[in-house]
Structure 1
Amino acid sequence: MAIDRRVFLVLLLAGCADTSPQGPLTAITPPQPAPKPQTPAAPQPVPATPVPAGELAFDTWLRDFRGRAIAQGLSPALLDRELAGVTPDPKVISLDSRQPEFSKPVGDYIKGVISDDRVAVGRRKREELTYLPTIEARYGVPRDILLAVWAMESAFGQLQGNFDVVRSMVSLAADGRRRAWAEGELIAALKIIDSGEVTRAQLRGSWAGAMGQTQFLPSSYRSTAVDFDGDGRRDIWGSDADSLASAANLLAKGGWKPGAGWAKEVILPAGFDYSVTEVEKQIPAWWEARGVRRADGLPWTAADAASPAMLLLPAGAAGPAFLALPNHFAIRTYNNSTSYALGIGLLADRFGGGAPPVTPWPVETPLSMSDRMAAQIALARVGFNPGPADGVIGAGTRKALRAWQQSQQLPADGYMSNDMVSRLKAQAGITP
């Protein structure tokens, strides 16, 4: 790979550079006359210790941010009080930039989401929380979906995170990778404090700034959190009712369609054209005309029959297939991940007494980060642009992979397996 050769050349040159105290010996020069005595020079002042580059950059960002925050309506007094002495949190920056060596296969992810213990707790909460039907009626979001979000986001309120949200957002904004987004969330957090609704000490959450039992970002809290229990506070930290109602409001604003499903497992016919995966959005009748049938054998409800659906193959042609309805994409307003939305939906189904997928999840070997990046580089080399070689197998990479698979007369399911990685590297001339 070209990148490997560049790294090798840099290391080679560094190894050849002369590091001896006297410098390189270029020639032997004749002896020189002894120098005449010189008047001792006046002592020179010791230079001040330079400010480390990172601290200087942080101070510069903080000064610039202050102006932007004031322009957004925050007072200098508030900024002085809440940002005095604040420093970036190295743990937050590390967590934001850390790339895992292995990605968890979707089947393993789903199995981790849907444990027997979690299902049992969810079913118990389903019966115990008498206000759930009222929340469901008010916002149109089923109680089982809300319980699944609660379970996934904070283990039913038990794991909310204890990071200072202001400091987390300061850290992410100053680091710069997602500066505009983080500054917006920081301003939202400061406005929450300024309103008096929540104190700085109460504003705790995950390293990424998600807060409370249903993990709201500061901007979502300001626009979407609700006081369901009527105590005058939107308490997503201590009130189960406020937390679940707030999640329902967020999903409703994200496009949740009352009375409709989120997805259905389907069985595909032999010889199916997998290239339509994640491309076509058609009503179930369109899919049925192409031999696609529901795995449970049941008919579609009127609401679902009228809804456009997209085919998903999260584990490739060998795994379960789903027709994702619009509510699947509403779930992704929480986390724009196919695996996350599938986890929420399948867990909700189990709370309501549903069964696991008919087609079992395949046993998979996780792909290393280097293999995922190599596959993306290989796709680009052979003429199928997947976007940046960042190791994230997202929609762009899957689209490029499907096009390449079609060119190779392979099932175009867009699934990056170990076999696909090996084929791509071989065609692109990338050695192991």
Structure 2
Amino acid sequence: MDRRAFLVLLVAGCADPATGLTPQLALGPQAPTPHNPEPVVDLAPSGSPTFDAWLRSFYVKAVRAGLPSDLLDRELAGLTPNDRISALDSRQPEFSRPVSAYIRGVVTDDRIAIGRRRRDALPALNQIEARHGVPQNVLVAIWGLESGFGAILGDFDVIRSMATLAADGRRREFAEDQLMAALKIIGSGEFPRSRLVGSWAGAMGQTQFIPTTFLATAIDGDGDGRRDLWNSSADALASAANLLAKAGWRRGESWHREVIAPEGFDYALTEGPREIPAWWAERGIRAADGRPFSAADQQAPAELIAPSGAAGPLFLAFHNHFMIRRYNNSTAYALGVGLLAQRLGGEGALVRDWPQETPLALADRTAAQTALNQLGFDAGAPDGIVGVNTRKALRAYQQARGLVADGYLSLEMVRRLRSEAGAPN
């Protein structure tokens, strides 16, 4: 999972009391005193002076945070950076993948069929949904996107992965938090280091939890007294449900609804106000399938999103859509989960097809951001990531030029921006 989405959930603490699990290590700050001197760091060189300097600093920080020296000596001994992880972390795709291509890749007939079989073979999902209020089809969709229903768990040593990312420095605070949490898991005796394997970015198990999220929200879903996200699908899905419930999932409300806009609609309203469906209906927005909104959804504020611009499908995104984005802070991911969940539940395909989109090169994206800034529309630092700030700036530009203000950056729009800013195309 995209790991920034979890930062809102990275809270210290023990496992859910309902699990009955042994509490984690009680850790508190331990400043150096005459009775508690500066720890002695005696670790063998790794061959990288930068890594070694960081590791010594981290060791002292970990001791002060309450981690036992014998645990650190054992788990950090012989630790070396993983060059493969450094390369993965620094790599930015040359071409961005359009939302339409992403959705076509995740909401497939095969994944729908496998998801239904896996769902129907797991009776614990009924109890999980009843307890946490998160629909089982949403949980199965997350399961499918995160690990192919448990088939792809990753084989990276989480301790080494987090140490590498921390030493590199780009995401030091995040990586050190994850490393501390992983060491706490080992020190508690819940799992040995050999079990803490996952993606290169430290996500673990069938529902891809980073270590801090494991400590805060992983629970026992099959009643065996353990929270084994690697080998127990029930544990993994119960933990995902617990995460979403703690984030604020609302029972009985939808996550999104496909809608249709009238001719001449003001697309500058996308990613803007959150209003109930009746407010949107006054502006001509209607459900694409013609069915009425449920009683719960009629009272639920929703935001209009146009992930592929005015030419693509439109959605009213309700509160629960944004709870899925707490799992992975990506509009495409949340839509993928939501659309797959709807198909698992027997709903049909979208009324409006996804358009054929042209992937934008990194140079095109950064050039568009640079041009927007030069023209007086603040898109932030030109980093090639077309996020909320870029789309907001683009909508303002489009409005000022009398264009459809949907905030969608097409190749044609890139060329227009570059030309107006005086850059060669």
Q: Report the TM-score when normalising by structure 1.
A: 0.87
Q: How does 1:7-406 map to 2 (within 5 A)?
A: 55-406=48-399
Please give the per-residue CA displacement for 1:304-362, whole angstroms capped at 9, x wherever unaligned: 11111000000000000000000000001110000000000000000001111111100
Q: CA deviation at 1:152?
A: 0.3
CA RMSD of aligned residues (A): 1.2
Match of 2:24 in 1: none
In structure 1, list runs of 5 or more residues that go unmatched: 1-51
Match of 2:401 in 1: 408
Structure of higher CA gyration radius: 1
Please give the per-residue CA displacement for 1:170-198, whole angstroms capped at 9, x wherever unaligned: 01111111111111011000000000001
Is the 2:158–2:202 Cα contact (8 Å) retained in structure 1?
yes
User: SS at 2:194's partner residue?
Assistant: coil
Which structure's relative contact order is higher, taking Cα pairs within 8 Å and 6+ residues apart? 2
Structure 2: which amino acid aligns with 1:170? A
Task: Give the whole-Å Cα distance in 1 for the aligned partners of 2:188 and 2:308.
Answer: 47
Please give the per-residue CA displacement for 1:342-392, whole angstroms capped at 9, x wherever unaligned: 000000000001111111100111100110111111111111111111111
Task: Give the whole-Å Cα distance in 2 for the aligned partners of 1:342 and 1:170.
Answer: 33
Task: Give the whole-Å Cα distance in 2 for the aligned partners of 1:101 and 1:327.
Answer: 32
Task: Give the whole-Å Cα distance in 1 for the aligned partners of 2:179 and 2:268.
Answer: 42
Is the 2:46–2:79 Cα contact (8 Å) retained in structure 1?
no
Q: CA deviation at 1:126?
A: 2.5
Q: CA deviation at 1:252?
A: 0.6
Please give the per-residue CA displacement for 1:378-429, whole angstroms capped at 9, x wherever unaligned: 1111111111111110111111111111111111100110111000000111
User: SS at 1:122's partner residue?
Assistant: helix
Structure 2: which amino acid aligns with 1:172? L
Structure 2: which amino acid aligns with 1:129? L
Q: CA deviation at 1:285?
A: 0.7
Please give the per-residue CA displacement for 1:11-64, whole angstroms capped at 9, x wherever unaligned: xxxxxxxxxxxxxxxxxxxxxxxxxxxxxxxxxxxxxxxxx9992221111111
Q: CA deviation at 1:125?
A: 2.0
Task: Give the whole-Å Cα distance in 2 for the aligned partners of 1:431 and 1:62.
Answer: 47
Task: Give the whole-Å Cα distance in 2 for the aligned partners of 1:355 and 1:177.
Answer: 43
Please give the per-residue CA displacement for 1:177-236, whole angstroms capped at 9, x wherever unaligned: 111111101100000000000110000000000000000000010110111112121100
Q: CA deviation at 1:245?
A: 0.4
Structure 2: which amino acid aligns with 1:191? K
Task: Give the whole-Å Cα distance in 1 for the aligned partners of 2:289 and 2:390.
Answer: 31
Q: CA deviation at 1:127?
A: 2.0
User: SS at 1:259's partner residue?
Assistant: coil
User: SS at 2:117's partner residue?
Assistant: helix
Q: CA deviation at 1:97?
A: 0.9
Structure 2: which amino acid aligns with 1:402? R
User: SS at 2:166's partner residue?
Assistant: helix
In structure 2, list runs of 5 or more residues that go unmatched: 1-44
Task: Give the whole-Å Cα distance in 2 for the aligned partners of 1:70 and 1:279.
Answer: 46
Pairs aligned (count):
381
Task: Give the whole-Å Cα distance in 1 for the aligned partners of 2:47 and 2:280.
Answer: 55
